[in-house]
Amino acid sequence: MVQVFPEQTDDGAAADRGTAGGTTVGGDTSDVTPGDADEAAEAAEAVRVVARRLRRAARADLEPLGVTAAQVRALRVVEAAGGGLRMSDLADRLDIVRRSATSVVDELEASGLVVRRPDPDDRRGVLVDLTDAGGHLLRRVGARRRAAARDLFADLTPDEVATLRGLLDRIS
């Protein structure tokens, strides 16, 4: 394994503890040189910086729309279902507990972005559907995110963007 984020000792030096002290990626380390590990650590830091930049930009884009990233994610899941989605299925797809899914849906419903309706197959069940306003909001969010991506990658050629995407796909 390549130790990407080594644990630091009190004097700031990287601790030599195999993989126990850091996050590891990859496989066999027999052919990894210290320079390779440094490059991997620098690449990981660059990915973190870009991820932070993307999160900040997303928050800034969503704030004027009055929604959070978690709410947009829930809207996308409901939209992808193509019709009513049970609350338990929404929670599973978002990888959150049912109570959290209920809270997100409460907020979205109060904003007029989703509606709840009885599940025709289960009298106790409730389905969540996207409203026209919810669909419109998702289109606006998509347009804003595409514009932000164009800005972020404006200095790269299309080939460089394709290469970057391929590399990110490999490590994700």
| Per-residue pLDDT tens over the stretch 34-85 | 667 889 899 999 999 999 988 898 898 899 999 999 999 999 999 999 989 9
Q: DSSP string covering 11-36, please? A: TSPBP--TTTTS-EESS--TT--HHH
- What element of type H or E holds 55? helix 34-62
| pLDDT bracket for residue 24 (50, 70, 90) | very low
Which pLDDT tens digit goes with each residue over 120-140?
988 888 999 999 999 999 999
- In terms of C-beta distances under 8 Å and separation of at least 24 residues, what long-range contacts does 89-96 make, across chains too? 90/128, 94/70
What whole-number distance in Å separates Cα of residue 168 and Cα of residue 153? 14
Residue 117's beta-bridge partner residues? 127
